Amino acid sequence: MEVVSNLYDCKHCAGSGTCANGKDLESCLACAKRNELPFWRQRGQFGLMCGSCGGIGKAEPLTERMNKRIAPLLAIFLIIFLLAIVALAAFLNNKHFSELLAFGSAIIGSVSGYYFSSRHNRS
């Protein structure tokens, strides 16, 4: 599966990869925390790796990252939720178990078929 990522110049570090957004071109406190410095050493640091882009000078917008991850996560949670409902109905001997099983298995099969199909993997 080929994942395409649109990277843009990081606005926080202006594409350099090192943070200079603090007072007198120091690294900012957010980048110092991202670099896991103890709180007594966070001020007065120069040349720390940018916390927004990870030091590469390019960043992927948050909306693009969310758009790529929401659908698979939603599918995983839907399958887990439906399996739990079917299992609960089976353990409680629910009188609507056969209908729940038919409904759940159709949706689980559709979601699994979509994510494991060869057509989805090619596009």
Going by C-alpha positions, the residue among 38, 43, 10, 40 that lies closest to residue 28 is: 43
Q: What are phi and psi of 91, to 5 degrees?
A: -70, -30
Q: What are phi and psi of 15, to 5 degrees?
A: 85, 5
CB 24 within 8 A of CB 45: no
pTM: 0.55
Instruction: Write out the chain's pLDDT in tens, 123 residues.
Output: 566 777 888 888 888 888 888 888 888 888 888 887 777 777 888 888 888 888 888 888 777 778 778 888 898 999 999 999 999 999 999 999 999 999 999 999 998 888 877 665 555
